[in-house]
Structure 1
Amino acid sequence: MDLSTIAGIMVGIGLIVLSVFLSAVQPDIYLNMPGLLIVIGGTIAATLVSFPTHELTKVFRVLGNAFRSHEYSIQDDISEIAHAARLRRHGDLARIEDQLERIPNPFLKTAIQLVIDNTPTDEIVNILQWRIKRLREQERAEAHIFHVMSVYAPAFGMFGTLVGMVNMLFGINGPDMLNVGHNMAVALMTTLYGLILSNLIFKPIAIKLERRTEKRAMIMRMIVEGTIMLAGNRSPVFIRETLKSFSAHHDDELRRGSSSTGADELEQPGRRASKQQRNLDDDF
């Protein structure tokens, strides 16, 4: 489980509940079922209208991913590429085939398989880059659903506010002032519910999913660089050290928030390192 997601939501809800109990004379007035139904029901209905059914069926799976811990370690992939390079230099393709059966990463498995099948390097890069692009588009579309829901929730909160205000103004001259207070509560609570759902649930989940996608894409770009070096028959030591330099910087690139730029820059250090380490590479 991803403790940061669970802890963030629990802390947020806890602070809201604590502030209610500390400030309200009667805390149960913050439980307003008509307002909650307006916000949740309206958000779900608008989302159903906005997206086709086959995309919405993935929401629960994607929501589960936001609460799972995803640790993507490049070190195992670096070791697999370096080991395949060592076997390829020795001409032991049969052992590489055996190695492929034990590789859990399907993207890396495809990359090494293309190399041992003597696929041209340009075609390998095109195939792998297409898979990265497909991954990013698919997972960005999934995160986009939660971004849209984060917009709809406050909008239906305002809709509930208008409903409550209309009902309040209609009955303001009546004898029963309790209805006025009830309608005023609906008017204010729907806005509160919409803001909480948007800024504590939907938008943070969308951002977390996007961050996960960018991290996976950057690791896949590093695998592409390693595959290019493997296809070029570079030494295991050179491949390992070059990819380790990528691994040491990829977290920093993600923190800068320049995922596309950082991914493009990954290609340049690899080319510079290739020129600087050429003599070392010839020794292995």
Structure 2
Amino acid sequence: MRHGGLWPNRFTAFMPLVHRTMPMNPSTLIGITASVLLLATVVLFTAQTPSSFFNFPGLAIVITGTLAATFISYPMREVVRVTRLVGLVFRRENSRIDEDIQTLVSMARHWFRGNIRAIEAELEDTRNPFLRTGISLVIANTQDDEIHDVLRWRIARMRAREYAESQIFRTMATYAPAFGMLGTLIGLINMLEVINGGDLTVIGPRLAVALMSTFYGILLANLLFKPIAVKLERRTEERLIEMHMVMEGVMLVAKRRLPSFIEDTLHSFMAEHQDEIRGPAPRTDAPDADARKQEETVA
């Protein structure tokens, strides 16, 4: 029983090491592995020769046509910028919500005490530009409504830009099957020419080659373009939650609310599925009762 009780602790201690040594997003890694296994199963166990699933002209029609239609639909700079975002789908991004909360609480304590120089020094080490902009407006004695408008405009601009980027991949997911059908039609036209020649033995192979274009189009749309779009949209949603959390914290700092109240409010943004009556255990890093009492006394 003793050894059995130690196993969960050892496993829990091992998980942070796994996350540090795994730069790729775990869900993306699982999806890629499952896709490779699926394609390997299809190629190896459903065809007499694996080479029958490779059709270079059909693949070229789908890829070239999809890229050409995408460049026609969107400006060059947007397409180039989106290609650089593909790496975000495969890379595991560590959330800095805890770091932002601690930074906001620390700055709230300085602002509560009127120590502007300490805030300016801490702003230089802040990695979140959105948080840095908000606190800079606060220490500049900007009106609360103006701070709120500026931060909301920054959020709206980020949302519009990133949703437009994910929309490009959704557009490519629409184009790929269409050009797959185009490749199939081209193959059928060539097959009809062979039929006119009287050689009926090549109908089957030519038809298989023609259908491969549709196969490539559906495969690229549903295993590449559309998953990338969904992943980018999910990333945008998470970033929006973080930005709204930071905006709420900045507004509370501007109103000179107690740092302990600000910390409790911001931590509520981190609770995904939390019972409002039976919440999680108290945080060990939260200010103790004496610190809260001291803040209330100062107020």
Which TM class, normalised by the smaller chain length?
A: 0.7 to 0.9
**Separation in 2, partners of 1:37, 1:17:** 21
Q: CA deviation at 1:53?
A: 0.8
Task: Choose the corresponding residue for 2:125, options 102, 111, 114.
Answer: 102
**Separation in 1, partners of 2:296, 2:183:** 72
SS of the residue corresponding to residue 92 of structure 2 reads coil
Question: Are 2:137 and 1:114 equivalent residues in the alignment?
Answer: yes
Mean Cα deviation higher: 46-55 or 197-206: 46-55
Q: CA deviation at 1:175?
A: 4.1
Task: Choose the corresponding residue for 1:129, options 143, 152, 156.
Answer: 152
Mean Cα deviation higher: 17-26 or 233-242: 17-26
Matches within 5 A, 1:136-151: 136-151=159-174
**2:238 matched residue in structure 1:** 215
Task: Choose the corresponding residue for 2:181, options 132, 151, 158.
Answer: 158
Aligned length: 257
**2:224 matched residue in structure 1:** 201
Question: Are 2:56 and 1:37 equivalent residues in the alignment?
Answer: no
Normalising by the residue count of structure 1, what TM-score does the alignment of the two structures yield? 0.86
Q: CA deviation at 1:182?
A: 3.9
Task: Choose the corresponding residue for 2:195, options 164, 168, 172.
Answer: 172
SS of the residue corresponding to residue 84 of structure 2 reads helix
Q: CA deviation at 1:177?
A: 4.1
Normalising by the residue count of structure 2, what TM-score does the alignment of the two structures yield? 0.81
**2:96 matched residue in structure 1:** 73
SS of the residue corresponding to residue 85 of structure 2 reads helix
Alignment deviations for residues 25-54 of structure 1 (CA, whole Å, 9 cap, x no partner): 112100111111111111111111111111
Q: CA deviation at 1:100?
A: 0.3
Contact 1:34–1:186 under 8 Å retained in 2: no
* Structure 1 unaligned regions, length at least 5: 254-278
**1:227 matched residue in structure 2:** 250
**1:274 matched residue in structure 2:** none
**1:265 matched residue in structure 2:** none
Task: Choose the corresponding residue for 2:74, options 26, 51, 73.
Answer: 51
* Structure 2 unaligned regions, length at least 5: 1-23, 275-292
Contact 1:234–1:281 under 8 Å retained in 2: no
**Separation in 2, partners of 1:281, 1:182:** 80
State the one-letter code of the partner of 2:219: I
